[in-house]
Amino acid sequence: MMPLLVGLLVTVIDTGSTNRPGLQITLDASGRAQVQSQGITPHAVQLNNRLCKDFIRALQSAAPLHALPAAHCMKSISFGSRLFIELNGDRSPDLNCPVQSDPKVDNLKKQALQILEAAKTTSK
């Protein structure tokens, strides 16, 4: 198993759309996270550390993120959103297409969505 890099920060970005604000979560392997929604002051939350560790391990094994295969899909100009993951300045392609052809990319997308949902739930 690949060791986790201490102090490693990962950012999950959901750009939102015209009818839904975007959300950005920056987290570490311990589950400490900073959540920022558009127009709202960032706030700290504690996420499940197992969820965060698994996510970071999956990211490390998929690196470099910019080289991941990008799926392309039609999106509404008004309602379409994009999903990105950033790790050490490296950014994934948009992961928000419904079907990802690469299982590694599909797994990262599912984990990123779990992180977003956990952050939303913890922030309430």
Q: Compute the radius of gyration of the chain from its Cα atoms.
A: 14
Confidence (pLDDT) at 103: 87
- Looking up residue 50, the CATH number of its domain turns out to be 3.30.1560
Confidence (pLDDT) at 7: 72
pLDDT tens sequence across 35-51: 998 778 889 999 999 99
Confidence (pLDDT) at 32: 95
Confidence (pLDDT) at 48: 95
Is 37 within the bounds of a domain?
yes
Confidence (pLDDT) at 96: 87
Domain that holds residue 33: 10-123
Domain count, the chain: 1
Is 20 within the bounds of a domain?
yes
| 94/71 Cα distance (integer angstroms) | 8
* Closest C-alpha to 78, from 37, 21, 19: 19
| 44/47 Cα distance (integer angstroms) | 10
Is 3 within the bounds of a domain?
no
Residues of the chain with pLDDT below 50 are 1
Is 1 within the bounds of a domain?
no
| 92/42 Cα distance (integer angstroms) | 23
Instruction: Tell me the whole-structure pTM to 2 decimals.
Output: 0.88
